[in-house]
Amino acid sequence: MISDKLSPMKSWKVGDKISFCLGADVGGSGIRFCVTNFHDPRQKIEPGHMKTKNVHEFYKVISDFSKAIQSVAPGAECLGSSFACAGLRKGNTVQVMNWSGSAEDQTIKIPEIDRTLFPPNHSVMMNDLEAGAYGIVSLSEMKESDQYFTKLWGPKSGSIISDKGHTIVLAMGSGLGAALVHHDIWTNTTVVIPTETGFLLSSPRGIDHPTYKEDVGNINYVSDHYYQGKNAPCFEDLASGRGLVIDYDYLIGRPSGWTAIQIVEQAKKGDAKAKLAMKKHYIYFLRAAKQIAYGMNCKSVVMALSNQVANKWLIDEIHKSLEHEFKDTTAWKATQGISVFSQTKDINVNMIGTNYMAHFAARNKV
């Protein structure tokens, strides 16, 4: 029972008060909570996945969870809260596209979240990759990032969260997400800025480049598919789950009808074109990474989240090709000073990030 899982909170009392922080990772199928001791973030309780498929269930789950906490630890107070939400943020609303029902059924109205677990002026609502980037910041500060991330190439002194410049965290899933970790050298502070740089327009090689013909052919095929050949595709059109499907279709010369998952499965079984499509969509991933990193003065690039871990078998195989792509640029001197990291072991960096920001929100008015 949930009350049994929450019972350790009783030992968090300082004086006559129990103070805690709350992190929450909200996805298409439900919520995962993490309750941490305000006085010692290492003391945490994760009660498990709670199903929600629309906003009405979302509000109820939060209200019920608040009641469960009070039944175990009467008077316990949430001092800071942070939610990561895989959805579209507009003002004081977030639309979770993967929830069922109408747009209204999918839309969280932030002021309507139970204030006992989302206290005013001490709560933060983030998108999922923003939270993930803060999770990586937290792991770096705790010196635990090496357990989950591997440096693929770059200067020996380069760290996962650079203190000499900024860091870009990238994730390929159904789309191509990017979050900038901005490091202010004057105040020595770190702030994550969500970006939409996955929508930067792609560009082919120069006409004399050895891969020009296949490169421009792939890009034009994607342009024809989405934009009737009138506009260049963005990097997300090429480097993402849907990008993988179109990259594969280009290689076989027709729509396959396969999903990205099916292409990955065939690649693992030895299908040469499926494997080449996976390689090509990673090539475009690195092409986007170098443009974003150079343009934003980043000294570190982090390829993160579960898809990156799942594709480790491929990354290990095409490592040299990816490094060559990253450094094949007019700004090649600048790329020599950029470290590139890949996540190799699963951990919920989103949850770590929400815990990190919940404690920040508890200590500061936001």
Above 80 in pLDDT, residue 284?
yes
pLDDT for res 67: 97
Residue partners of 111: CB distance under 8 A and separation at least 6: 92
* Residue 138 counted as domain residue: no
Average pLDDT over residues 336-361: 97
pLDDT for res 207: 94
Confidence of residue 186 (pLDDT cuts 50, 70, 90): confident
Does one domain contain both 339 and 205? Answer: yes
The CA-based angle 108-98-195, given to 5 degrees, is 75
* Residue 161 counted as domain residue: no
Above 90 in pLDDT, residue 172?
yes
Does one domain contain both 121 and 233? Answer: no
Does one domain contain both 211 and 319? Answer: yes
* Residue 67 counted as domain residue: yes
pLDDT for res 185: 83
pLDDT for res 217: 97
Global pTM reads: 0.94
Does one domain contain both 113 and 244? Answer: no
* Residue 64 counted as domain residue: yes
Average pLDDT over residues 164-169: 94
Above 80 in pLDDT, residue 75?
yes
pLDDT for res 332: 86
Does one domain contain both 313 and 357? Answer: no
- CA of 334: how far to CAs of 16, 152, 178, 195, 341, in Å? 56, 17, 20, 22, 17
Average pLDDT, whole number, for the chain? 95
Does one domain contain both 356 and 279? Answer: no
Q: What's the total number of domains in the chain?
A: 2
* Residue 335 counted as domain residue: yes
Does one domain contain both 207 and 312? Answer: yes
CATH of the domain at 251: 3.40.367.20
CATH of the domain at 95: 3.30.420.40
Does one domain contain both 263 and 297? Answer: yes
pLDDT for res 109: 96
* Residue 121 counted as domain residue: yes
| 134-146 pLDDT per residue, tens | 999 999 999 999 9
Above 90 in pLDDT, residue 174?
no
pLDDT for res 187: 86
Does one domain contain both 201 and 315? Answer: yes
pLDDT for res 216: 96
- 217, HSE (Cβ side, Cα atoms, 13 Å): 11
| 215-263 pLDDT per residue, tens | 999 999 999 999 999 999 999 999 999 999 999 999 999 999 999 999 9
* Residue 78 counted as domain residue: yes
| 297-330 pLDDT per residue, tens | 999 999 999 999 999 999 999 999 999 999 999 9
Task: Count CB-CB contacts under 10 A for residue 267.
Answer: 22
Does one domain contain both 247 and 332? Answer: yes
Does one domain contain both 85 and 209? Answer: no
Residue 221 burial by Cβ neighbours in a 10 Å radius (0-12, 13-18, 19+): middle
Above 80 in pLDDT, residue 161?
yes
* Residue 173 counted as domain residue: no
Residue partners of 259: CB distance under 8 A and separation at least 6: 245
Range of the domain at 30: 2-133+349-363
| 29-46 pLDDT per residue, tens | 899 999 999 999 999 999
Does one domain contain both 119 and 211? Answer: no
Above 90 in pLDDT, residue 188?
no
